[in-house]
Structure 1
């Protein structure tokens, strides 16, 4: 507990050691959320909690964030031949898009935040690819039991190109601008 007192002009005052403590805490929180979106920062308290730092724990937390990102979105679906295309929007902006083989369910799904791909999931193997500001961050396999965070230049280029361009056919089919 710290003591608060007032200056002659009525401005609250705290001692220097308490100020340093509060400044350090604020700085630490700022670093913690520096790369987190506003959604991530707001939803952190509601996210699944884990008692360890396993890949499954991080994966569950990230998937929860994607669920929160798309909560309440309005879905548009189009079936064309053996392909199904979907886009889910909030306030007219896409937050999720996918294309899949109608009968098999095999395909790919994209999640967007502020118009940028933040994650891609390959339905055939369940791998989920995460991006940070357009750059490949990590790939989770088998529900997070395996994580890949180091990539060759070819892998990185391939996956970052997929994030930039892979959803365009879905958008074209569903007239998303």
Structure 2
């Protein structure tokens, strides 16, 4: 009897301690062991319609990410990842995983990656920041559309847009937007190589003027950064790929110019002068030009090459000034039928100025609006 009891105790001890080994990893890629937890999940690329030009930048990297050690009460348990990567700690970045340990399909835990948010973008230099941003888009599926003179691009990973761009070949300018979880994290003006980086609350945290990082961000830099972050630029890009556009429109104050954006204003001005007949004169070092549609002057300009400055005007069929531009600064003003400023754009920065100062309005309305008469005198008009 004693022998039987001893044998029983021995078997129990063997069962309790002799088999205390970590369970083997399943062949299922989504199975996770807490002792060395890793997530691996394959997801199909999202594809756009056949009418768009679609390319893949590079082979899509694995979504495997190293996650932090599981909580003590989860040790030695094996679970499956539920759904795609998830924002466990509310930092705005989906780099964690929801884990199901008991197989009921309901997440039992959310484990954050040990990849820190700060490491997403290396802000050491312009080049390292851009390299980090390019790594976010690695393997994304790019689509392109070109309505008229503007090229629009979007690039997607796992069904989410990670980059959106627009470039106007006529203006030689454009914008690049980078996203994490549908949130703008960076904006670049590729023509000037200015790069703006944002925190999870949309506040400007860093700026680069190639190749240097701006050490002391000025109030103007912050205003520019806020303008780029909040502008409808990326919405306009995305809407170009939708069958019905969601872009906002602005009713023209003078009945001729669409003042929605820099692009629409430029397009309206081009349509005014399309096919007009030019006449040029040179007087006292100044170059003068008028352009007519029939008997109506639609455009007039003067330019001094030595000074590098001049003025240009656009007119409605009834002879009213609808727009005027300082050629040196690139500032262009749009006027209503009463000669009041309704819009301002910076041609060289390819942007519409949302807040026009009272001084700018006054100068444009009192001086710029009437100076075209000096050009007319050269042509005896």
TM-score class, shorter:
0.5 to 0.7
* 1:121 shift after superposition: 1.1
* 1:137 shift after superposition: 0.8
Which whole-Å deviations, capped at 9, do the CAs of 1:63-84 have from their partners, x for residues lacking one?
1111101111111110012101
* 1:93 shift after superposition: 1.0
Residues 292 and 298, structure 2, Cα contact 8 Å, conserved in 1: yes
Structure number, greater radius of gyration: 2
- Equivalent in 128, 132, 142 of residue 332 of structure 2: 128
TM-score, structure 1 as length reference: 0.63
Structure with more of its chain in helix, by fraction: 1
Q: Which residue of structure 1 aligns with residue 176 of structure 2?
A: none
- Distance in 1 between the 2:354 and 2:252 partners? 23
* 1:92 shift after superposition: 1.2
* 1:157 shift after superposition: 2.7
Query: What secondary structure does 2:328 align onto?
Result: coil
Residues 77 and 85, structure 1, Cα contact 8 Å, conserved in 2: yes
Question: Which ranges in structure 1 are unaligned for 5 or more consecutive residues?
Answer: 1-31, 45-54
- Equivalent in 366, 375, 378 of residue 161 of structure 1: 366
* 1:144 shift after superposition: 3.4
Which whole-Å deviations, capped at 9, do the CAs of 1:131-155 have from their partners, x for residues lacking one?
1222111211234335044331x43
Per chain length, whose mean CA-contact separation is higher, i.e. which structure has more relative contact order (CA < 8 Å, sep 6+)? 1
Question: Which ranges in structure 2 are unaligned for 5 or more consecutive residues?
Answer: 1-249
Aligned length: 130
> Equivalent residues in 2 for 1:70-109 (5 A)?
70-103=273-306, 105-109=308-312
Once superposed, what is the RMSD of the aligned Cα atoms?
2.7
Distance 1:171-1:34 versus aligned 2 partners, 3 A rule: closer
> Equivalent residues in 2 for 1:110-149 (5 A)?
110-113=313-316, 114-133=318-337, 134-141=339-346, 142-149=348-355
- Distance in 2 between the 1:36 and 1:109 partners? 18
* 1:35 shift after superposition: 4.1
